Structure 1
């Protein structure tokens, strides 16, 4: 029988091992067992592994073991990641593993966040920088990030970074860092560009390849809902109203979120409680027992707190916050569908988390079905059905209602009020101030009639001359407008690079893109006409091929007589529609 390898066998420092013990990690994954000893020896490594195989710990643990905690003037390690979400995830992992180490400072650097806190942290000194290539390039150009003492460089999800158009930035960063650094490159695939990078910038790298065997149970129905972060609570409340569930686990990413969400669910009348790493063991056991005996219906939990939880009556799992690795997703939804029963898993996916959903689909070999947010009519129909069932159940208890029948009869005779009116008054008294039904959703105004459009055509033309984006309808009811970005053919831009940068940094969906026209010095992109101000703000510092894109509404075609574009003023950004 093969002897089980533990983290104690890999040569990690005692401080790192203490951090692993604190989070309950004992056995390394295959990529970790194969990669950690090589990195501790100082070897350059190319790791070929899918998302969710434990790559973050595979490079984070050896980096932390070899750091000098007393050298804080310049970063000793740099991790490049394709997206801000992955950068945040990697940064949080470093902080978790370094919890027992003295004064380790980790700094996330990514587009869309303020420069001030980043500059302050860099001046104070950090050990590890985790960032996206575009924002790292910004700091290098400004001279605010000094990598002259860098000892470790990690390229995480390298193939994804290249597909998003970061090849030039990555090569620039690699070329400007010390030659004697140790490099670890992790990728799901090995395309030609990855081979070229490893051949040019890695020294005699050792290749480690691990295939994921992750799969989900066939008896679990998987669905997902596209939803923005502020809509999550309302979405969860509606799902709870229309789904026929027995007991449910709602997974949140942080301890504070579990407490807050459980409190909000209790305020809405649900029997909910939170468990997380701060909950004492006796309280955890009490809460789990309440879930088992039916006195509690909803458990809001973190991944760590729900580990090993086995309650048969859990019919649903909701990923309120989508996990950032596939293994966690599989473990989460495995809390339902126990003992041969069927189960349901629902995941909330924000626009910026589409890449996580794709990774889950690919590596679990399953395709969650997209669901729609339950409508007001569906919620109201469910409430009325539940109200009817309640009346039916009480009517079946003859002895229980006999006394109240006499009470109502006395009131009717004394006050000369119809029995139906008394029943309605009792229902209202029982229900309280909260209305039984939701208000109808506001109806969006219809497009103006042809006559009104004709009457306003001159005004619309003046609006175009004033710098508003040109609009059209691509045929599916989605009004589109033309927007201009300041990168073109001479910057070696391709459509996939534009889509990747705008979708990642601006939270746009693939369906939001129309035609893309790449000109010599700029490009014109069709996007939704009602693009909110938040998208412009998120893309303010976005670069493609190292150049700021400067997204703005396209100001229209040149004037044929003068060759000049309408108006000299900069175009206004579209106002946000509330």
Structure 2
């Protein structure tokens, strides 16, 4: 079987990415959204996968995370959706809630100009009320984890009878986490005439079996990326929240000894916004993107080459083919979503034997992209710390000293000012050192030369306030004297308040919980962690010892775990079997869950229609 570019064995070469999205046959509204975000050239997996999906073919795509496969299935699905149909037409299964949220955000971004199209994330850890309300209003695309999707199907709250498209994203990861039975159940219980796209980094026997059983003559496409980076380029990354990116960038610009720099953002609008913020902070910066006329682009690049401009803020497309010897640094203000873009970006520095530096900003939710880049380039990225106040002050003092040394070399001008200073000292009886300090104040202006601890604390307060505003806008949480709190709305619109779960520490007390699956069900610890983490919104740090017995298993979880977390875990299934989680009291394994529940947890709420 061959891919659309007729490469043998279904291998899609990165050369396919030379065409544009316009040539692939996508809907005009989808193309408009792509133009808004600055995407013009598809990656290899996108160029090879979109045409067969638009033609109605089932597809098996073998590609690593970070190759742009989300757009590979999202764009053709959105191009064929019927916005008038209120029941789900597309279902995307993802192994983790983090990936489900990323996929959902991508769908929403690409559907910006499609009227009436609604996308819903469905995952463990989120209240049922939000999901049920959205399903009643009508959604066209559902993105979720297998466990929570199965839960809705068992309750009868998710109608997939009119499903047209089903995507298995990172199928090998779902199997590793123990979702194989759930995935097969979902595949079997959805319409036979649906179109299926399966994406996986590897092709283990179980994935091959699922493909043969549930996909109809699929087109198999394998992407092998030519991802190599220059050995002359030092690659580092900084973990930073989105609201802090501009301030973090400013700190880095203060301490890095750069000559010329390109800063990459994902969207055209962000290039203009960031360039303006940098100019306001005193840096010589300009933006180029797909909307900038060619003549203006050439003028800007020439200014960068001549030294009249130090910083260029650009999108991927605008910077393709750019070769400026002065570029010593590349900063990924937004980490790219595919490894090919990363390689192209940092290739703007470290060229022709010159040394270069590449720094990538990574938000906590983007660590998966970082891992994919390291795997694809076979080069680890070194984590860096945000420059401290002392680092910034040391750099400022060094530059101040250098400026004085340079000025002392201008002998004729020094002599003229020496006479002026001498006249002032003679008539005002002020020591020369004080006059020099006063002149430094005049030259410095209102901006202090050195940062203080109070400046740092004030900045931290501004950062925290900005994070809180972003959190409130995104999730409904707000911060008060008791810490972060979240407000959920149930089906009646009532407000209920619950504290946010505390992070685990090494001294955090743990309690043992019993679940009704064990060796007889061939359960493994990774399946338990995967299922409980997804449905309960837990992290790996929340798990202690796991003991698997013949008919049940014991799992250590935080003793102060809120009752609503246990409530969310009540309907969790592993291998299709309800786990019936309850605190372990050393009781017989067959004892009824309800008999031992008592008052330790709130009563189960029913959302059945």
8 Å contact 2:514–2:581 — kept in the other structure? Answer: no
Distance 1:148 1:485, change over 3 A: farther
Q: Residue 524 of structure 1 aligns with which residue?
A: 556
Distance 1:363 1:227, change over 3 A: same
Q: Residue 87 of structure 2 aligns with which residue?
A: 74
Residue 197 of structure 1 and its aligned partner are, at CA, apart by 2.8
Cα distance per residue 1:481-524 (max 9 Å; x no partner): 245696746287754456667988999997x5784345756632
Matched, 1:148 2:161: yes
Residue 283 of structure 1 and its aligned partner are, at CA, apart by 4.5
Q: Residue 454 of structure 1 aligns with which residue?
A: none
- TM-score, with length taken from structure 2: 0.71
Q: Residue 460 of structure 1 aligns with which residue?
A: none
What is the CA–CA distance in structure 2 between the aligned matches of 1:494 and 1:151, rounded to whole Å? 34
Q: Residue 105 of structure 1 aligns with which residue?
A: 117
Distance 1:494 1:286, change over 3 A: farther
Residue 166 of structure 1 and its aligned partner are, at CA, apart by 3.8
**Residue 373 of structure 2: which of 360, 363, 377 is its match?**
360
Q: Residue 65 of structure 2 aligns with which residue?
A: 51
Q: Residue 397 of structure 1 aligns with which residue?
A: 410
What is the CA–CA distance in structure 1 between the aligned matches of 2:531 and 2:359, rounded to whole Å? 28
- TM-score, with length taken from structure 1: 0.74
Distance 1:249 1:375, change over 3 A: same
Aligned length: 524
Cα distance per residue 1:298-353 (max 9 Å; x no partner): 22333344334333322111112222211121122122223442221111223332
What is the CA–CA distance in structure 2 between the aligned matches of 1:255 and 1:119, rounded to whole Å? 36
What is the CA–CA distance in structure 1 between the aligned matches of 2:22 and 2:441, rounded to whole Å? 67
8 Å contact 1:20–1:26 — kept in the other structure? Answer: no
Q: Residue 189 of structure 1 aligns with which residue?
A: 202
Q: Secondary structure at the match of 1:386?
A: helix
Q: Residue 508 of structure 2 aligns with which residue?
A: 481
What is the CA–CA distance in structure 2 between the aligned matches of 1:430 and 1:221, rounded to whole Å? 36
8 Å contact 2:104–2:121 — kept in the other structure? Answer: no
Distance 1:15 1:231, change over 3 A: closer
Residue 32 of structure 1 and its aligned partner are, at CA, apart by 4.7
What is the CA–CA distance in structure 2 between the aligned matches of 1:551 and 1:246, rounded to whole Å? 60
**How do 1:71-470 and structure 2 match up within 5 A?**
71-83=84-96, 86-87=99-100, 90-91=103-104, 94=107, 103=115, 105-111=117-123, 122-137=135-150, 139-140=152-153, 143-279=156-292, 283-440=296-453
- Supply the RMSD in Å over aligned alpha carbons: 4.8
Distance 1:233 1:113, change over 3 A: farther
8 Å contact 1:484–1:551 — kept in the other structure? Answer: no
**Residue 490 of structure 1: which of 517, 530, 533 is its match?**
517
What is the CA–CA distance in structure 2 between the aligned matches of 1:173 and 1:291, rounded to whole Å? 55
Distance 1:119 1:507, change over 3 A: closer
Q: Residue 495 of structure 2 aligns with which residue?
A: none
What is the CA–CA distance in structure 1 between the aligned matches of 2:554 and 2:245, rounded to whole Å? 38
What is the CA–CA distance in structure 1 between the aligned matches of 2:140 and 2:74, rounded to whole Å? 12
Residue 421 of structure 1 and its aligned partner are, at CA, apart by 1.4
Q: Secondary structure at the match of 1:490?
A: coil
Residue 541 of structure 1 and its aligned partner are, at CA, apart by 6.5
Distance 1:381 1:521, change over 3 A: same
Cα distance per residue 1:178-232 (max 9 Å; x no partner): 2221211110112243234334433444433332222222222211123333443
What is the CA–CA distance in structure 2 between the aligned matches of 1:132 and 1:376, rounded to whole Å? 43
272-281 or 153-162, larger mean C-alpha shift:
272-281
8 Å contact 2:515–2:579 — kept in the other structure? Answer: no
Q: Secondary structure at the match of 2:397?
A: helix
Q: Structure 2: 5+ residue runs without aligned partners?
A: 1-5, 8-14, 458-500, 588-598, 603-609
Residue 164 of structure 1 and its aligned partner are, at CA, apart by 3.9
Q: Structure 1: 5+ residue runs without aligned partners?
A: 443-468, 473-477, 559-567, 572-578
Residue 79 of structure 1 and its aligned partner are, at CA, apart by 2.0
What is the CA–CA distance in structure 2 between the aligned matches of 1:182 and 1:281, rounded to whole Å? 42
Residue 155 of structure 1 and its aligned partner are, at CA, apart by 0.8
Distance 1:380 1:365, change over 3 A: same
16-25 or 79-88, larger mean C-alpha shift:
16-25
